[in-house]
Chain A
Amino acid sequence: MLLVSVLLVGCENGHKFVKKTAFKDTDKMVLTFAGPVDESWASNVRNFSAYEEPDPDIVLTIKETTLSPDKTQVTLVFADPLNTGEAHIISATNILSEGQDLGAAVLTVKKLYIGVLMTIFIGAALINNFVFTKYLGLCVFFGTSQKRGTAVGMGVVFTIVMVFAAVMAWGLYQFVLKPYQLTFLNVVVFIGLVSLSVQGVDTILRKVNPMLFKAFGVYLVLVIANCIAIAVPLILADNEYSGWESFALALGAGLGFLIALFLMACVRERLELAQVPPSFRGLPIAFVTAGLFALAFLGFSGLSIY
């Protein structure tokens, strides 16, 4: 419960009279006040200035401001589209409410953290699906997508191992490699981590749940040979993701791989019965199918969430 509330509660604002700040569309911000503010104050563009948090010297141009009919919401319209991935700082001059001066405010506008996590998750699973748009992990992908059961087994095992490995990779990267300036050893350490988590899951599963081990044992070893398993830690290190973001990325990558495997297995099961020209039988037609899937997944690139 606590975690959820921490995730859901967005940011604190620098002024008591400001209830909420949020992005709207691609070029607007909405400031919600606790009570009505004066129109003369709200409609003057010069009372507000905004910049992206990392670049305080680049002041964004505000085209106009509008006040909602109940006078509690001010919408800032910007001349250019906003980079909603970054936090923005808005400074407002002395807020006037019914003639009263409530002091100046410095406000932070950023996306809700859960929204950021969802973006990373959906991004890794669909928009930048590792198999169909980045062409990673193809060897395991073609090796285990002949039957639906195998495909799902591989996908599930991969997701579990990936999440373990990614969270450990995040911890090691942030708390060991970066402080000691050893980031050039990323690849070596991350490969070791993946093998470690595979070996760990193997050892523990063998004892704790032999049935599951029997079903998953074969695929466990294959996870080491999967290039997605090394791509995910490298990406999270490159983008300086936090722990939760790394978790979302790994989960997205795993589920994306599972989706890819399952879709491919469904098609390949049917291809067994189809009349394929002899020269295309087996892997060639599978590659053609994967190409068509990749084309279809391009459709997700226009998807924008949150």
Chain B
Amino acid sequence: MDPVLVKLALAGVATLGCIGLFFGVGLAMAAQKFHVEPDPKVEEVLHTLAGAQ
């Protein structure tokens, strides 16, 4: 295969991987920082209700 294309493909994988990793870590950190304790009552009520939808 053309080495230019191979280089392009590898660069693409690397760049997208970096972007994904960066934003993934960012989201994870945000999720941790802005963590909200879910109310156990909500779960209980939802469980008791019929809730076909």
Contact = CB atoms under 8 A, between A and B. Distances in A.
B19 A199 contact: no
Interface residues of B, number: 15
Interface stretch (A5-13, A179-187, A230-238): A179-187
A180 B27 contact: no
Interface size class on chain A is: 10 to 19
Contacts of A192: 19-20, 23
A199 B16 contact: no
A182 B34 CA distance: 34
Interface in A191-244: 192, 196, 199-200, 203-204, 206-208, 210
A207 B27 contact: no
A189 interface: yes
Contacts of B34: 203-204, 206-208
B23 A180 contact: no
A172 interface: yes
B11 A189 contact: no
A199 B19 CA distance: 16
B16 A185 contact: yes
Given A196-B23, A203-B27, A180 B35 contact: no
Contacts of A200: 26-27, 30
A180 B11 contact: yes
Contact of B19 (A176, A181, A203, A204): A176
A123 B51 CA distance: 45
A203 B20 contact: no
Contact of A196 (B12, B27, B36): B27
Contacts of A196: 23, 27
A181 B8 contact: yes
Contacts of B8: 181-182
Contact of A182 (B12, B20, B31): B12
Contacts of A182: 8, 11-12, 15-16
Interface string B20-51: 10010011001100111000000000000000
A172 B27 contact: no
A210 B42 CA distance: 15
Contacts of A185: 12, 16
A172 B19 contact: yes
Contacts of B30: 200, 203-204
Given A203-B34, A206-B34, A206-B36, A176 B27 contact: no
Nearest to A181: B8
A182 B15 CA distance: 9
A81 B49 CA distance: 69
Contacts of A199: 27
A296 to B, nearest CB: 37
B12 to A, nearest CB: 5
Interface of B: 8, 11-12, 15-16, 19-20, 23, 26-27, 30-31, 34-36
27 contacts: A172-B19, A176-B19, A180-B12, A181-B8, A181-B11, A182-B8, A182-B12, A182-B15, A182-B16, A185-B16, A189-B16, A189-B19, A192-B20, A192-B23, A196-B27, A200-B27, A203-B27, A203-B30, A203-B34, A204-B30, A204-B34, A206-B34, A206-B36, A207-B34, A207-B35, A207-B36, A210-B36
